[in-house]
Amino acid sequence: MLAASARRVPRRPLSSSASLTRSTPPRSPAGASRSYALSVVPPKIPKGMILPRHFTGKKAFQYNWYMRILDSSTTSPLIFLYHNDFTSQKLIKLRRDISAASNRSKPSLSSASPAGIPAEPVPEPLLTVIRSGIFGAALRDFPAVENADVMQMTEGVKGALAVLSLPVLDPPQLKAILRTFDRNVPPRKPKTEEELKKALDEKNADPLNPGRRMKKLRQIVDPELKVLGALLDGQILLPERVRSVADMPSLQTLREQLVGLLSSPGTQLAMTLSEASGGRLARTLEGLKKGLEETAGDAPP
């Protein structure tokens, strides 16, 4: 009976040449991901390729989509963002935070007119995670952008990128969005030498229980978000200039200041004429008369 059951149990071969030839290739380590750098330098042309290059399928759709985003920069700014270690839930929360910040500071162009007619609603900002390789090709073909400025903006940056499309250029709204970035995704603090040494020692240390499977620890994801620059009407703005633009007043405030500067000379003239009218004008003329009489009396005969 035992012999019959033993015959029914299939045996697994320990090693064979066939199993070695059909072995699967080694997988990449966990957490390793392919990184792209936004480059506008034309790649090397392979032999036999016909220029200009035309994308097909999904790449053609992405290329045309990115070109439409770049075309919209003539009227609305594009904010380039570098993001790292963002999960899908974190991206959803980031989009909600951007929408909430833009709603707290609506552009002045969206307010109702004096006649009581409501203006057209301004669309909300749109965050698009881009594919750097195809987006770089779209930037190369976009004539309004200087490649040297793009290279200066993305110098030393490798990883996932995103583009935030704003409906209009409204400095208070831009400032609210930048403040949201700093509050919800604060910049990472650089690690000290002690922290780096401790992490290296933990990595190279022997396991506590040799021969046993280590417990999987839940990795704490610390997302990172950084503003690389902006694109507005063919001009590349670096992060310092983007924040200086965000500190400017709104368009309506600038219009009111301009109207005040243009109307101030006329207002001052009207105030001077109003002050010189009536009794003040009579006193002014009386003083002028006495001054002329004193001048005539002091003159030699």
Per-residue pLDDT of 52-98, as tens digits, reads 667 888 889 999 999 999 998 888 889 999 988 888 888 899 999 99
Residue 251 has pLDDT above 50, yes or no: yes
With H, G, I as helix, E, B as strand and everything else as coil, classify residue 232. strand
- CATH number of the domain bearing residue 125: 3.30.70.1730
pLDDT at 123 over 70: yes
Tell me if 11 is assigned to some domain: no
Across 37-51, 141-155, 280-294, the highest mean pLDDT is recorded for: 141-155
pLDDT of residue 2 exceeding 50, the answer is no
Residue, of 194 and 6, whose pLDDT is higher: 194
Instruction: Say if residue 273's pLDDT is above 70.
Output: no
**DSSP letter at 222?**
-
Which of 69, 96, 72 minimizes the C-alpha distance to 184? 96
Strand partners, 164: 79, 127
Digit-coded pLDDT (tens) for 155-171:
878 778 899 999 888 88
pLDDT at 116 > cutoff 70: no
Order of strands across the sheet with 160-165? 126-130, 160-165, 78-84, 224-232, 235-237
pLDDT at residue 7 tops 50: no
- Does residue 27 form part of some domain? no
Q: Residues near 90 by Cβ (< 8 Å), separated by ≥ 6? A: 221, 223
Residue 61 per-residue DSSP state: H
| Residue-number span of the structural domain to which 235 is assigned | 55-107+121-189+220-270
Q: Read off the tokens for 276.
A: 């010189």
234 within domain boundaries: yes
For the chain, the distance separating the N- and C-terminal CA atoms, rounded to the nearest angstrom, is 160
Instruction: Give the distance between the most distant pair of CA atoms in the chain.
Output: 160
Please give the mean pLDDT across all residues of the chain: 75
- The verdict on residue 131 lying in a domain is yes
C-alpha 75/C-alpha 81 separation (Å) is: 19
Inside any domain, residue 152: yes
- Does residue 19 lie within any of the structural domains? no
Give the pLDDT of residue 78: 92
Query: What confidence score (pLDDT) does residue 81 get?
Result: 92
Q: How many structural domains is the chain composed of?
A: 1
Question: Contact, 234 vs 242, CB < 8 A?
Answer: no
- Inside any domain, residue 103: yes
Angular region, 72: left φ>0, alpha ψ -120 to 50, beta rest: alpha
pLDDT grade, residue 17 (50/70/90)? Answer: very low
Q: What is the pLDDT of residue 127?
A: 92
In a domain? residue 236: yes
Give the residue, 109 or 196, on which the prediction is more confident. Answer: 196
Per-residue pLDDT, 28: 41
